[in-house]
Structure 1
Amino acid sequence: MEFAKRIQPLSSNVFADMDRAKGQAIAQGKDIIDLSLGSSDIPAAAHTIEAIENSLHDHSTHGYLLYNGTKQFRETAAKWYTERFKIPVDPETEVLALIGSQEGTAHLPLAILNPGDFALLLDPGYPSHAGGVYLAGGQIHTMPLLAQNQFLPVFNDIPQAVLEQARMMVLSYPHNPTTGTATLEFFESAVSFCRQHNLVLVHDFPYADMFFEGAEKPPSVLQADTNKELSIEFFSMSKSYNMGGFRVGYAIGNSELITALRQIKAVVDFNQYLGILNGAIASLNSPQEFVTKIVNIFQQRRDTLITALNNIGWQVNKPNATMYLWAKLPQPWSNNSVDFCTKLVAETGVALAPGSGFGKAGEGYVRFALVKEPKILEDVAQKISVFLQQNNH
């Protein structure tokens, strides 16, 4: 059977590869400690579940949900954003409900790129960013994120020939997988660069709340583009509110970009069940102590795992944000993150994400997701210690 060429670049991704490796380890009798996915092990808040549960008994929520039915959610998201970042938002023209922010980042290139146009993407970066470009028939120019540049792209390194064919730039800070952060000044420079080169600026912002004690609150790209001239930002309920499985997010930004994305969405899907949006509304409207509690849990886990890894001789930098550690691999694994991760899960049951799965510049690293309790994370470090001793060749 012959398939479209556009799916050829999609044949492999980091999550599918590790899922196969985990399946093989399970078949061999291993108990898996899965730190390869950023899927929180902490439940959603009681008030979120209660709102969804109450909706289930209201038969008016059981039908298809079209755009106008998302009005209350869009108003709530706009209010939350305005209170948080002091930028006014029109819920009718500048907000779009999404089935997870990944839906938005993957579909937006269909509205922006013609075949052959370039998108400027971070390397390493989140896989759906590249997947959407491939499906749109676009080309990708990667912007390497290096430790010596604080995991920020260097815009001046982008070739002029690429810029002449480029239509969009995708950023995401706090950054998955590197845990890098960006300042408002950085975003101001990105907006200026995109304005100069007539680029749409896309900011994927799922870790808006996931910053730790002593770190500055992550800025919104719209604080650097206050008139929303060229920017769109994607938010998720998955991380701050532990609603990953409910698949709910939203976009805020330039009204023309919102309209274009809405047109793509209209031919792909309706919206999710209204009860899920009611749960998200309850989350956004409730006191945010729940979010603070979640962040404190991940900060404790960060500190526990870093200490445990340092104690076995694996020195890892302490991130200021996200729910991950981005760890440079020890010798002799420094140039083969896939082999390290597949062998590690086969021998120990510990599943990590190989850095190369996020892009060429991610080689030499692995990502730990802090999605287990501290005692389990300490056990992970001990398993890795034995693994490294047995595989020191």
Structure 2
Amino acid sequence: MQFSHRLDLLRSNVFADMDRAKARALSVGRDLIDLSLGSSDLPVADRIIDRIRDSLADPSTHGYALFHSTQAFREAVANWYTRKYGLPVDPETEVLQLIGCQEGTAHLPLAILNPGDFALLQDPGYPSHFGGVYLAGGQVYTMPMLAENGFLPIFEDIPEAVLSQARMMVLSYPHNPTTAIAPLSFFEKAVAFCQRHNLVLVHDFPYGDFVFEGAVAPSILQADREKTVSIEFFTFSKSYNMGGFRIAYAIGNREIIQALRKVKAVIDFNQYRGILNGAITALNEPQEFIQDTVNTFRQRRDAFVDAMRDMGWNVPTPSATLYVWAKLPEPWTQDSVGFCTRLVEQTGVAVSPGVGFGKSGEGYVRFALVRPPEILTQAVERIAQFL
């Protein structure tokens, strides 16, 4: 059989290798502590579950959910955004429901890029941002995310030859995996740059609520108030612990929203309406429980960072996200895959190799704080023994 050449760019990656390493650890009886995936272990709020459960008994929710049947959801999204950020949003033309942010960010390049066009992506960055560009036949230009630059890309370093063929830029702050936050002034610079070079500015924004100690995570639309070039992706996976429900949405420039809607129209019929009802409840209810979730992850962060420093690994204290991004110690500084593979096979602790997020991630490792403090402390004890 012959398959599309585009699959060559989607060949086995380090996360698939890590899955195999985890399977080997389990096969020899290791007790797995999986800190490799940013999937929350906290429960969904009861009132959201109750709303979804009630919907199951309503036959009107059992059919296809075409665009117009998502109107109540889109209105809830628009009202939520205006309450939170103080900017008006048209639910009819500036909001689109998604089956997870990964679906939206992976499909958008099909609406923006012609074969050979460039997308400007963060390195390290989220893997699906790369995959969507490859499926669209585009080229990737990676913008290095370096600690000395605050993990912010330097736009002036992008070659003119690339910019002449570029059609989109993808940013994501608070950033996965580095945990960096971008100030509003950086977003204003990014918007001006994209306006000047006729680029679609994509902002993946899953960790907007996951900030600590008074840190602020601005929306890209606060820097592009007229929505001239920008689209922003939001998810229920983090703030509402609804990762498995696959519910998200995009807000932004109406032409970009319409283009993505055309792609989606030939691929899916949207999410089950009962889940949409649960999401509406999540948006309309008082949001105090989100702060409880954030406080839980802040406590986990503190316990993990303290334990790591006590055993001699001086990891940074992140001001956002549910991760710790740390430089590897000797002799692993250029072998993040080797470190992570050996670690899980010998101790059962699974973490993510930095190179899996891009070549600029080599020499780093990402810890996802998706276990209670006592389990995180146990993981650190095993890491200390391994080192």
Q: Which band: TM-score by shorter chain?
A: over 0.9
Q: Which residue of 2 aligns with 1:358?
A: 357
SS of 2:181's equivalent in the other structure is: coil
Q: Which residue of 2 aligns with 1:275?
A: 274
Which letter does structure 1 place at the counterpart of 2:44? Answer: A
Q: Which residue of 2 aligns with 1:309?
A: 308
SS of 1:264's equivalent in the other structure is: helix
- Report if the CA contact (8 A) 2:14-2:337 is conserved: no
Q: Which residue of 2 aligns with 1:76?
A: 76
Q: Which residue of 2 aligns with 1:253?
A: 252
Question: How many pairs are equivalent?
Answer: 387
- Report if the CA contact (8 A) 2:111-2:259 is conserved: yes
Give the 5 Å matches for 1:69-148. 69-148=69-148
Which letter does structure 1 place at the counterpart of 2:190? Answer: A
Deviation per residue, 1:128-154 (Å, 9 max, x gap): 000000000000000000000010000
Q: What residue ranges of structure 2 are gaps of 5+ in the alignment? A: none
Q: What residue ranges of structure 1 are gaps of 5+ in the alignment? A: 389-393
Give 1:162 shift: 0.3
Q: Which residue of 2 aligns with 1:149?
A: 149
Cα separation, 2, equivalents of 1:337 and 1:375: 25
SS of 2:78's equivalent in the other structure is: helix
Give 1:272 shift: 1.3
Cα separation, 1, equivalents of 2:131 and 2:97: 21
Cα separation, 1, equivalents of 2:31 and 2:8: 33
Give 1:16 shift: 2.3
Cα separation, 2, equivalents of 1:8 and 1:126: 19
Give 1:347 shift: 0.3
Give 1:14 shift: 4.0
Deviation per residue, 1:5-53 (Å, 9 max, x gap): 1111111234322212111111111111000000000011001100100
Deviation per residue, 1:72-125 (Å, 9 max, x gap): 100001111111111100000000000001111000000000000000000000
Give the 5 Å matches for 1:215-364. 215=215, 217-364=216-363
Cα separation, 2, equivalents of 1:12 and 1:146: 26
- Report if the CA contact (8 A) 1:15-1:37 is conserved: no
Cα separation, 1, equivalents of 2:110 and 2:119: 12
Deviation per residue, 1:333-363 (Å, 9 max, x gap): 0000000000000000000000000000000
Which letter does structure 1 place at the counterpart of 2:26? Answer: I
Q: Which residue of 2 aligns with 1:18?
A: 18
Cα separation, 1, equivalents of 2:273 and 2:382: 44
- Report if the CA contact (8 A) 1:205-1:233 is conserved: yes
SS of 1:268's equivalent in the other structure is: coil
Give 1:214 shift: 3.0
Deviation per residue, 1:47-80 (Å, 9 max, x gap): 1100100001111111111001100100001111
Cα separation, 2, equivalents of 1:100 and 1:68: 19
Give 1:285 shift: 0.8
Give the 5 Å matches for 1:156-175. 156-175=156-175
Cα separation, 2, equivalents of 1:308 and 1:293: 23
Cα separation, 2, equivalents of 1:214 and 1:206: 18
Cα separation, 2, equivalents of 1:348 and 1:173: 32
SS of 2:258's equivalent in the other structure is: helix
1:8 aligns with 2:18: no
Q: 1:162 to 1:97 in 2, by over 3 A?
A: same
Cα separation, 2, equivalents of 1:99 and 1:90: 20
SS of 1:31's equivalent in the other structure is: coil
Cα separation, 2, equivalents of 1:123 and 1:153: 9
TM-score when scaled to structure 2?
0.99
Cα separation, 2, equivalents of 1:257 and 1:174: 23
Structure 1 runs (4+) deviating above 6 angstroms are none
- Report if the CA contact (8 A) 1:14-1:358 is conserved: no
Cα separation, 2, equivalents of 1:136 and 1:31: 41
Cα separation, 2, equivalents of 1:16 and 1:100: 21
Which letter does structure 2 place at the counterpart of 1:332? Answer: P
Q: Which residue of 2 aligns with 1:56?
A: 56
Q: Which residue of 2 aligns with 1:34?
A: 34
Which letter does structure 1 place at the counterpart of 2:350? Answer: A
Q: Which residue of 2 aligns with 1:196?
A: 196
Q: 1:290 to 1:13 in 2, by over 3 A?
A: farther
**What RMSD, in angstroms, separates the aligned Cα atoms of the two structures?**
0.7
SS of 2:15's equivalent in the other structure is: helix
Cα separation, 2, equivalents of 1:36 and 1:130: 19
Which letter does structure 2 place at the counterpart of 1:167? Answer: R
- Report if the CA contact (8 A) 1:119-1:168 is conserved: yes
Cα separation, 2, equivalents of 1:325 and 1:14: 19
